[in-house]
Amino acid sequence: MSLQLDDITLTYPDGDGRVTALDRVTLHVPAGTVTAVVGPSGSGKSSLLAVAATLVTPDSGTVTVGGTPTGSIGRAERAELRRRRLGIVFQQPNLLPSLTALEQLQVMAHLDGHRPREVRERAEELLAAVGLTDQARRRPHQLSGGQRQRVNIARALMNEPSVLLVDEPTSALDHERGAAVLDLLARLTRERGTATVLVTHDRAHLAVADDVREMVDGRLTAAGPARDAAGGAPYAPTPELDSASDSSTATC
């Protein structure tokens, strides 16, 4: 099960004209791999995620999630697809303030018509996988930033998605915690066979990716594998992109 975006073009209205956010973008993410997308602010990374998450319908091109083409399905079917096939790790944890860590995961199953009790074991298992067994009964305001982000990741995996979309997961974390979160994502991707798209501006974390793409002015270019297949050398970013990312904010 994979994610496939073919020849995607997306434009937004801008005054009298339209601005192109994605320009004939093609991306194929195989199951069990992480593809990182890097690029400066405003380059179209978030638009790419929005299209992949079926939250925005592109002007042209096709999006296939886990073998299901999304072009001709309605709003309710898209919501169902997001529930069952897609996991989204938001840039901010976006946890619901009234729910405990455990309930943040259980609500995913409830959205899909399951009783929270039926999925308790799986939710506890996922919390254990992200190292939060002892925090299961805590609400977001009782958790640290890193713990909230780990709940965010566990929630995205709750319905066993075939595609995981990860939006700047380390922007609110310090370097050490950010690295731990990315390692966790990479490990879970391989263990669970998801196709993961990681949008990030932090080049120090690209080593976890199997493939790295650059997004510049709405166009996606191949930047090569994150590590050299023979020696495991880390991905070397382009100087222009590096300086752009240094000056960028968390938003992409």
For residues 105 and 208, which CB has a smaller minimum distance to another protein in the complex?
105
Tell me if 167 contacts another protein by CB under 8 A: yes
Torsion, Cα of 180, 182, 185, 189 (10° steps) = -130
Tell me if 154 contacts another protein by CB under 8 A: no
Element (H, E) at 5: strand 3-14
Tell me if 138 contacts another protein by CB under 8 A: no
Structure tokens at 148: 């909230």
For residues 130 and 165, which CB has a smaller minimum distance to another protein in the complex?
165
Among 76, 121, 176, 239, binds another protein (CB under 8 A): 76
- Alpha-carbon distance of 201 to 5, in angstroms, equals 21
Tell me if 57 contacts another protein by CB under 8 A: no
Tell me if 32 contacts another protein by CB under 8 A: no
Among 24, 28, 84, 138, binds another protein (CB under 8 A): 84
* Residues recorded for the chain: 252
- Alpha-carbon distance of 121 to 102, in angstroms, equals 10
Structure tokens at 62: 């096709």
Please, what is the minimum distance in Å from the beta carbon of residue 156 to another protein?
Answer: 8
Residue 184's nearest CA partner among 128, 107, 102 is 128
Tell me if 106 contacts another protein by CB under 8 A: yes
Question: What Rg, from alpha-carbon coordinates, does the chain have?
Answer: 18
Among 33, 46, 147, 149, binds another protein (CB under 8 A): 46
Q: How far apart, in Å, are the Cα atoms of 1 and each of 33, 162, 175, 215, 243?
A: 11, 6, 32, 24, 36
For residues 46 and 210, which CB has a smaller minimum distance to another protein in the complex?
46
Please, what is the minimum distance in Å from the beta carbon of residue 109 to another protein?
Answer: 9
Tell me if 79 contacts another protein by CB under 8 A: yes
- Strands of 17-29's sheet in order across: 17-29, 3-14, 60-65, 68-69
Among 82, 150, 203, 205, binds another protein (CB under 8 A): 82
Residue 7's nearest CA partner among 25, 30, 29, 31 is 25
For residues 35 and 100, which CB has a smaller minimum distance to another protein in the complex?
100
Q: By the 8 A CB rule, do 218 and 44 touch? A: yes
Structure tokens at 248: 């960028």
Tell me if 251 contacts another protein by CB under 8 A: yes
Please, what is the minimum distance in Å from the beta carbon of residue 53 to another protein?
Answer: 7
Among 122, 155, 203, 205, binds another protein (CB under 8 A): 155
What is the binding site for another protein (CB under 8 A)? 46, 49-50, 53, 55-56, 76, 79-84, 86, 88, 90-92, 94, 96-99, 103, 106-108, 110-112, 116, 139, 155, 159, 167-168, 171, 249-251
